[in-house]
A = this chain, B = another copy of it.
Amino acid sequence: MTKTKLSLLMLSLTLPGYSVADELREMQKNPDTWVMSAGDYANTRYSQLSEINLDNVQDLKMAWSFSTGVLRGHEGNSLIIDDVMYVHTPFPNIVFALDLNNDGAIKWKYEPKQNYDETVPVMCCDVVNRGLSYGDGKIFLNQADTTLVALDIETGEVIWSDKRDDPRTGATNTGNANVFKDKIIVGISGGEFGVRGYVQAYDMNGKTLYKAYSTGPDDEMMVDPQNTTAMLQPIGKDSSLNSWQGEQWKIGGGTTWGWFSYDPDMDLYYYGTGNPSTWNPLQRPGDNKWTMSLFARDLDTGVAKWIYQMTPHDEWDYDGVNENILVDQKIKGKMRQMLVHFDRNGFGYTMDRATGELLVAEKFDPSVNWADSVSLKTGLPDRVAKYSPAANGEDTQTTGICPAAHGAKDQQPATFSPKTGLFYVPTNHICMDLEPFEVEFVAGQPYVGAEVNMYPATKDNMGNFIAWDAREGKIVWSNPERFSVWSGAMVTAGDVVFYGTLEGYIKALDAHNGRELWRFKTASGIVGNVNSYKHNGKQYISILSGIGGWAGIGMTNNLENDSDGLGAVGAYKSLSNWTSLGGVLSVFSL
């Protein structure tokens, strides 16, 4: 019997309120483990460990390392459960169980067989995978080819698997599976191929419970015209259909490839939807609901409680999929159940997560220029015509738009410290020129319809790592970075905040003031997320290196033209002076 099983057994004896179906709710409280991608349901990525702290972080040193044997972008982070670390790779999505009691020797390895030619060419932004999940004695792998696999945690053997979609239509997967209570929630990628986004819920045995689309008829979206709200009002009948011309919604994107969070007390989970397809806004008049939106859904029924569209009728590829961090703080003297979301469009949103009320919406990067502000009343951004490709028309280049299509922040997740009350956010500081053009839809073919060129917003400063006060919508401090910060951050009870850089540094800053306390050059550029755990009473910090993701696509795919890689290649050209492809887990301790 493993320790987990034992402790759960004891839990269920001592805490009658929690059934085994809630095991994750308890496990995430143990700071020695890292039991889900974000560390907790709330997506705070906060570690309660404080052995490593402001006084000694400069003595941090590498404890051991592990090459995954795969190159290209290593996003996400490992899980640590019962002295075993679970490490995943980008395509081909290998899973390693590493024995922490034996210097990381390989306990088991699972390597799925996926069709390369069907899958890899239709992945928009490198062949990344954002991680594994745990539940009910199983490790869940969400493969690139949309197969969800449940592996026996002890042996790595397949318990069940389900291929839920077809990469030949452009549908792929990069997100992790999300285990919430007794369900597994998965999303889908393919917004650059006209894939219609959805979330799908499974039970622990692989049975599909429901599927809820981002766009289309109310029933297929699992919305209730009367009781599902937006800006505190019922959304009404056919809210999505009414916001599209004809049947464009069927190929209209709104994919669901980002991070999911969950409030077990409200039994609501939160996620965002991606860009409307095609990127060319003139081919899809209307608000294109509910792309670019945050959803709050009831875990058990799947029905949406509320929706909020950040960027109606997107013109810039500002996917709304970034994480939603759930914390309770006082705003203007009143305790609020907050949801905090740093959107690609450059606004940091603070909402009431029970109701979807918009509390704060402010720019978290000073370069943002496509909109002047967001109205807290209507929820609508106040657009600047000069930076509107829709206003400027097809086959016309709109220049100087900030942020670029990468957004002021992409998938790289932020972290929150209950001690400082601040959010720590890896950001992009890049702008673009964009020229939309007419594109025809062919299933399984790119459906982009825009030529993009990205470049730094400020010379030699393509990113910042910032501290953010979500109660007021203010930057507290900001550390400039040479490149976009494409790595997820973690803050600890030691008041140290960690993140990685595209050059390959892992850095530790003082959470109070952003002062750099320590850095280490890892094997390759970092697009993975930092986490922490304790083993034999000692705190460890771990991070995956391996340059890639959309920012690193020039390197992973050997692209040369500035506008290749959906416009990203030019901006990140000098990355290859700093680092080289890799796939290495680095573990640090005092």
Q: Which residues of B contact A523 (CB under 8 A)?
A: 65-67, 523, 584-585
How long is the Cα–Cα vector from A91 to B520 in the complex, in angstroms?
29
Q: A61-B61, A523-B523 are in contact. Are A69 and B106 (CB under 8 A)?
A: no
A55-79: which have CB < 8 Å to B? 61-62, 64-69, 71
Q: Which residues of B contact A203 (CB under 8 A)?
A: none
* A112 shortest CB reach to chain B, Å: 15
Interface string of A337-353 (1 = CB under 8 A from B): 00000000000000000
Interface string of A478-503 (1 = CB under 8 A from B): 00000000000000000000000001
Residue pair B584, A64 in contact (C-beta under 8 Å): no
A566-590: which have CB < 8 Å to B? 576-586
Q: Is A545's CB within 8 Å of the partner chain B? A: yes
Chain B residue at minimal CB-CB distance from A522: B65
How long is the Cα–Cα vector from A582 to B67 in the complex, in angstroms?
5
Interface string of A403-433 (1 = CB under 8 A from B): 0000000000000000000000000000000
| Sample (17) of A-B pairs whose CB atoms are under 8 Å apart | A61-B61, A62-B520, A65-B65, A65-B521, A67-B581, A67-B582, A67-B583, A68-B582, A69-B524, A69-B580, A71-B71, A106-B577, A106-B578, A106-B579, A523-B523, A582-B584, A584-B584
Q: Is A328's CB within 8 Å of the partner chain B? A: no
Partner of A521, one of B64, B546, B576: B64
How long is the Cα–Cα vector from A106 to B109 in the complex, in angstroms?
34
Q: Which residues of B contact A65 (CB under 8 A)?
A: 62, 65, 521-523, 584, 586
Q: Is A104's CB within 8 Å of the partner chain B? A: yes
Interface string of A512-543 (1 = CB under 8 A from B): 00000000111110000000000000000000
Q: Is A439's CB within 8 Å of the partner chain B? A: no
How long is the Cα–Cα vector from A546 to B582 in the complex, in angstroms?
12
How long is the Cα–Cα vector from A582 to B545 in the complex, in angstroms?
12
Q: Is A96's CB within 8 Å of the partner chain B? A: yes
Q: Is A105's CB within 8 Å of the partner chain B? A: yes
Q: Is A103's CB within 8 Å of the partner chain B? A: yes
Interface string of A242-266 (1 = CB under 8 A from B): 0000000000000000000000000
Residue pair A69, B581 in contact (C-beta under 8 Å): yes
Residue pair A69, B582 in contact (C-beta under 8 Å): yes
Chain B residue at minimal CB-CB distance from A586: B65
Residue pair B71, A580 in contact (C-beta under 8 Å): no
Residue pair B106, A520 in contact (C-beta under 8 Å): no
Partner of A584, one of B67, B106, B576: B67
Q: Which residues of B contact A96 (CB under 8 A)?
A: 580
Q: A61-B61, A523-B584, A584-B523 are in contact. Are A576 and B106 (CB under 8 A)?
A: yes
How long is the Cα–Cα vector from A71 to B546 in the complex, in angstroms?
13
| Chain A interface (Cβ < 8 Å from any Cβ of B) | 61-62, 64-69, 71, 96, 103-106, 109, 503, 505, 520-524, 545-546, 576-586
How long is the Cα–Cα vector from A521 to B105 in the complex, in angstroms?
10
* A208 shortest CB reach to chain B, Å: 34
Q: Which residues of B contact A66 (CB under 8 A)?
A: 521, 523, 580
* A138 shortest CB reach to chain B, Å: 22
How long is the Cα–Cα vector from A473 to B103 in the complex, in angstroms?
37
Q: Which residues of B contact A109 (CB under 8 A)?
A: 576
Q: Which residues of B contact A521 (CB under 8 A)?
A: 64-66, 103-104
How long is the Cα–Cα vector from A68 to B545 in the complex, in angstroms?
13
* A126 shortest CB reach to chain B, Å: 14
Q: Which residues of B contact A585 (CB under 8 A)?
A: 523
Residue pair B578, A105 in contact (C-beta under 8 Å): yes
Partner of A69, one of B61, B68, B71: B71
Q: Count chain B CB atoms within 10 A of each CB in A65, A67, A96 and give the residue with the most.
A: A67
Chain B residue at minimal CB-CB distance from A521: B64
Q: Which residues of B contact A104 (CB under 8 A)?
A: 521
Residue pair B520, A64 in contact (C-beta under 8 Å): yes
Residue pair B577, A105 in contact (C-beta under 8 Å): yes
Chain B residue at minimal CB-CB distance from A72: B69
7 nearest A-B pairs in the assembled complex, by CB-CB distance: A67-B582, A69-B581, A67-B523, A61-B61, A69-B580, A64-B521, A62-B62
Q: Which residues of B contact A503 (CB under 8 A)?
A: 105
Q: Which residues of B contact A576 (CB under 8 A)?
A: 106, 109
Chain B residue at minimal CB-CB distance from A104: B521
Q: Which residues of B contact A580 (CB under 8 A)?
A: 66-69, 96, 106
How long is the Cα–Cα vector from A521 to B589 in the complex, in angstroms?
14
Using A66-B523, A96-B580 as known contacts, list a sample of 5 further A-B pairs with CB atoms less than 8 Å apart, ordered by residue number in A: A62-B520, A66-B521, A67-B523, A67-B581, A103-B505
How long is the Cα–Cα vector from A66 to B64 in the complex, in angstroms?
15
Q: Count chain B CB atoms within 10 A of each CB in A109, A546, A580 and give the residue with the most.
A: A580
Q: Which residues of B contact A579 (CB under 8 A)?
A: 67, 106
Chain B residue at minimal CB-CB distance from A99: B577
How long is the Cα–Cα vector from A395 to B581 in the complex, in angstroms?
47
* A525 shortest CB reach to chain B, Å: 9
How long is the Cα–Cα vector from A520 to B132 in the complex, in angstroms?
27
Q: Which residues of B contact A586 (CB under 8 A)?
A: 65
